[in-house]
Amino acid sequence: MIEVEGLTKRYGATVAVSDISFQVQKGEILGFLGPNGAGKTTTMRVITGFLTPSEGSARVAGVDVVEKPLEAKRHLGYLPENPPVYPEMKVREYLTFVARIKGVARGEIKKRVEEVAEKCAVTDVQNRQIGKLSKGYRQRVGLAQALVHDPDVLVLDEPTAGLDPKQIIETRDLIRGLAGRHTIILSTHILPEVSKTCQRVLVINQGKVVAEGTPDELTRRLQGYETVLVTAEGPAPEIMDRLQQVGGVNLVEPREAADSRVTFEVHAEKGQDVRADLARAVVESGWKLFELKTSGLSLEDIFLKLTTKDLSEEPAAAHAAAVQ
Ligand SMILES: Nc1ncnc2c1ncn2[C@@H]1O[C@H](COP(=O)(O)OP(=O)(O)OP(=O)(O)O)[C@@H](O)[C@H]1O
Ligand SMILES: [Mg+2]
């Protein structure tokens, strides 16, 4: 539904986006994750036809955004970083105005405005001036205007920025509810956002894609080994020895002890699932097994790994590890 190929955008000597390629399938939610200045907004502005690329191309629903901007825009709804809402207009009046300029058929406008107002939960403020709404409500109005012509593709630039926790949860629920019917790209530099809202993540740093995958895939690819946490009751040194003997296990370290229970961190060969063998080793030795779970790098760790200087100095290595 969205195809970006070899996209580069330069502002004078600044390369904001450098040779980015990716695709988004119909109905998918793709998250752009990256620190400030990574190139998220720039990429989104190219996709939505507000900026022309220096090199490369972007297609939306098969339509090239540079060659056929008007046709591409019909498939697109865009919530920019700072939503262009007119403070003196009333919500309903504004949505009606946007529906008209986006070419919604005259007879359909009233129905569409009512539908999106309902969907974005702004019906109760529809007769209020936009400038007097809270930030959360204004953001919902921004989403409603992006949706009013029922576009296939939604491009949402930091849709939850500046919202309070309750509004963030509501907005995420709303966005998740839109997937399937709409194809969505959203940008964020907030980590929990991508794992909570997106099915796939593109990590961007300094204008380049440094990793791509589901949050789970990224965790697995970037970690050199599998980690399992085993909590058991019994003589700690013996348990440790026994766990160490399980095939595929490289390292066992005690992590915490409470009462008579000890939790061990077990590192195993990458790609090996040693959980069943660990469980058997504990139980067959007559000790009590309380918990056994895999533990990965948090998305936070991954993000840091991918965007800190160490790795960005070796982009080829990071890329090879992360993108397949
Ligand atoms: N109009 C412009 N003129 C010159 N440089 C620009 C312009 N817009 C963006 N840049 C530069 O391009 C780079 C990418 O900016 P962009 O706004 O795309 O980042 P971002 O990932 O959206 O960041 P943020 O998280 O802060 O919104 C930055 O180095 C920025 O300074
Ligand atoms: Mg931005």
Q: How confident is the model at residue 223 (pLDDT cuts 50, 70, 90)?
A: low
Give me ligand 1 centre to Cα 17, in Å. Answer: 9
Identify residue 288 by its one-letter amino acid code.
K
Q: How far apart are CA 272 and CA 250, in angstroms?
A: 11
Q: Determine whether the shortest distance from the Cβ of 40 to ligand 1 is under 6 A.
A: yes
| pTM for this predicted structure | 0.75
Q: For ligand 1, what atom is nearest to the CA of residue 32? A: 21
C-alpha Rg value of the chain to the nearest Å? 24
Ligand nearest to the CA of 42: 1
Ligand nearest to the CA of 38: 1
**pLDDT tens digits for range 225-264:** 788 999 999 999 999 999 999 999 999 988 888 878 999 9
Q: Which of 175, 156, 164 is nearest to 137 (CA)?
A: 164
Q: Determine whether the shortest distance from the Cβ of 248 to ligand 1 is under 6 A.
A: no
Q: How far apart are CA 257 and CA 240, in angstroms?
A: 13
Q: Determine whether the shortest distance from the Cβ of 9 to ligand 1 is under 6 A.
A: no
Give me ligand 2 centre to Cα 102, in Å. Answer: 24
Our mutation pick for probing the ligand 1 site, out of 7, 8, 33, 40, counting the most ligand atoms within 8 A of Cβ, is 40
**pLDDT tens digits for range 179-210:** 888 999 999 877 667 777 888 999 899 999 98
Q: Determine whether the shortest distance from the Cβ of 202 to ligand 1 is under 6 A.
A: no
Q: How far apart are CA 315 and CA 205, in angstroms?
A: 10
Q: Spell out the residues 6+ positions from residue 125 whose beta carbon is closer than 8 angstroms to its own.
A: 91, 133, 137
Q: For 285-320, give one letter per residue: b (16+ CB within 10 A) or e.
A: bebebeebeeebbebeebbebbbeeebeeeeeebbe
In this structure, the number of other CB atoms found within 10 A of the CB of residue 153 comes to: 21
Domains with residue ranges and CATH for the chain: 2-220 (3.40.50.300), 224-294 (3.30.70.100)
Would you call 44 helix, strand, or coil by DSSP? helix
Q: How far apart are CA 290 and CA 47, in angstroms?
A: 51
Atom 17, ligand 1: which residue's CA is nearest?
A: 41
Q: For ligand 1, what atom is nearest to the CA of residue 44? A: 18
Q: What does the pLDDT read at residue 311? A: 40
- The alpha carbon dihedral of 62, 67, 68, 69 has a sign of positive
Q: What is the DSSP letter of 66?
A: T
Q: For ligand 1, what atom is nearest to the CA of residue 39? A: 18
Stretch among 115-119, 207-211, 220-224, 269-273 having the lowest mean pLDDT: 220-224
Q: What does the pLDDT read at residue 314? A: 42
Q: How far apart are CA 117 and CA 145, in angstroms?
A: 9
Ligand nearest to the CA of 36: 1
Quote the tokens at residue 315: 């982009």
Q: How far apart are CA 266 and CA 243, in angstroms?
A: 8
Q: Which of 9, 1, 2, 3 is nearest to 208 (CA)?
A: 9
**pLDDT tens digits for range 1-41:** 999 999 999 999 999 999 999 999 999 999 998 888 899 99
**pLDDT tens digits for range 130-187:** 999 988 888 889 999 999 999 999 999 999 887 887 888 888 888 988 888 899 999 9
